[in-house]
Amino acid sequence: MAWKVGAAVAVLLGFVGVSGGVGSGPDPRRAGWRDAYRAPTEIPFPAENPYTAAKAELGRRLFFDPILSGDGTRACATCHIPDLAWGDGRARAATRQQGDMDLRTPTLLNIAWQDGSLGWDGKFRTLESVAAMPMAAPGNMNLPMPDALTRLSSDPSYAAAFAEAFADPAITRERLEAALATFQRLIVTGTTPFDRWIAGQEDAIGEPAKRGFDLFNGRAGCASCHSGWSFTDNSFHDIGVGVGPDIGRGRYKPTSLALQYAFKTPTLREIGQRGPYMHDGSVPTLSAVIDLYNRGGIDRPSRSRSIKPLQLTAAERADLLAFLATLSTSAGRDLVTISFAAKAPAP
């Protein structure tokens, strides 16, 4: 027993020595924190819209097909671009007339885990319900649902694909939405160095990234909102960005001051490929994001109580960036490979 205690003390002292004055060794809470990031083994599909391969394939075709826009120039993939981590790399999405929309295009990565509150303001309750809005919006795809259904019905190859997916040839709004959602639930991140580390491979990420993980979960408090495998609490916060009309573009309802400028917590998966950042694309780089959190954003009554100046040293800011870099797959191309290892939900 005495030997064990002595060894533990020696290890602790060793870490203090190795970190060369940066601070202390690994946070003793690290092992517990790691448990919260284990990858799920199955994609969740709702009972009302279970996975089938025919539905997913039909959804894939629809997602990339400009037939869903009025003048045949836009598809869902015009803005949710696989090679750009399923976003579009713009600060705010482009209107049909090449103007700016109010909001940035969010990634669709791991969208299956976000059912219940989709959109920057959470206005969509299900993934199925999202598609009709961009399709019909005059500034976006500009094709009202009845016109879309007529168009698809007069295309024999779509009639055949719907018949295969739904055992019935009728093309309805519900089926169109079900197919698109089934495809989107397959947009899942590949295994990253971070995931390999969580699974137990100690050398999968470097020491700076491990220190960054401790900060992320500890003193910097990031994990209070960017929590779990998908790095989001699926909730809404004002982190002190957004000005002017952005006050009402998030969760805000006139009854609650606290929800002014409150936007959905985004996933941090593939974050390096997804700039510019925030709902309005106002923060150009990841180091600018860290600087923003270090300053604490705009101090105002609606700002989350979890956001405050952090007083991070330059070395700590670098450690946080090293950690964020482990949340991406090595090659951007991996993102195009959608996992088809989908299973129907357990009965």
* Contact residue for ligand HEC among 51, 162, 213, 263 (CB under 6 A): 263
What DSSP character marks residue 263?
E
Please answer whether residues 84 and 157 qualify as being in contact, where contact means their C-beta atoms are separated by less than 8 angstroms.
no
Q: Pick the closer one to ligand HEC by CB: 171 or 239.
A: 239
Restricted to residues 45-74, the positions that interact with ligand HEC (CB under 6 A) are 68, 74
Near ligand HEC by CB under 6 A, which window of 13-21, 32-40, 131-139, 330-338? 131-139
Q: Pick the closer one to ligand HEC by CB: 259 or 320.
A: 320
Total binding residues toward ligand HEC, as defined by CB under 6 A:
54
Least distance to ligand HEC from the beta carbon of 226, Å?
5
Least distance to ligand HEC from the beta carbon of 305, Å?
8
CA–CA gap between residue 307 and residue 193 (Å, rounded): 28
Please answer whether residues 189 and 270 qualify as being in contact, where contact means their C-beta atoms are separated by less than 8 angstroms.
yes
Near ligand HEC by CB under 6 A, which window of 1-9, 149-157, 165-173, 304-312? 304-312
From residue 80, alpha-carbon distances to 55, 60, 77, 105, 106 in Å are 20, 13, 5, 7, 8
The residues facing 277 across adjacent strands are 283
CA–CA gap between residue 198 and residue 149 (Å, rounded): 46
* Dihedral sign computed on CA atoms, order 284, 285, 286, 291: negative
Judged by CB under 6 A, does residue 266 bind ligand HEC? Answer: yes
Please answer whether residues 29 and 218 qualify as being in contact, where contact means their C-beta atoms are separated by less than 8 angstroms.
yes
CA–CA gap between residue 344 and residue 49 (Å, rounded): 10
Residues that bind ligand HEC (CB under 6 A): 68, 74, 76, 78-80, 93-94, 101, 103, 105-106, 108, 111, 114, 118-121, 127, 130-131, 134-135, 140-141, 180, 184, 220-222, 224-226, 237, 239, 241-242, 263, 265-266, 268, 271, 274, 277-279, 286, 289, 293, 304, 306-307, 320
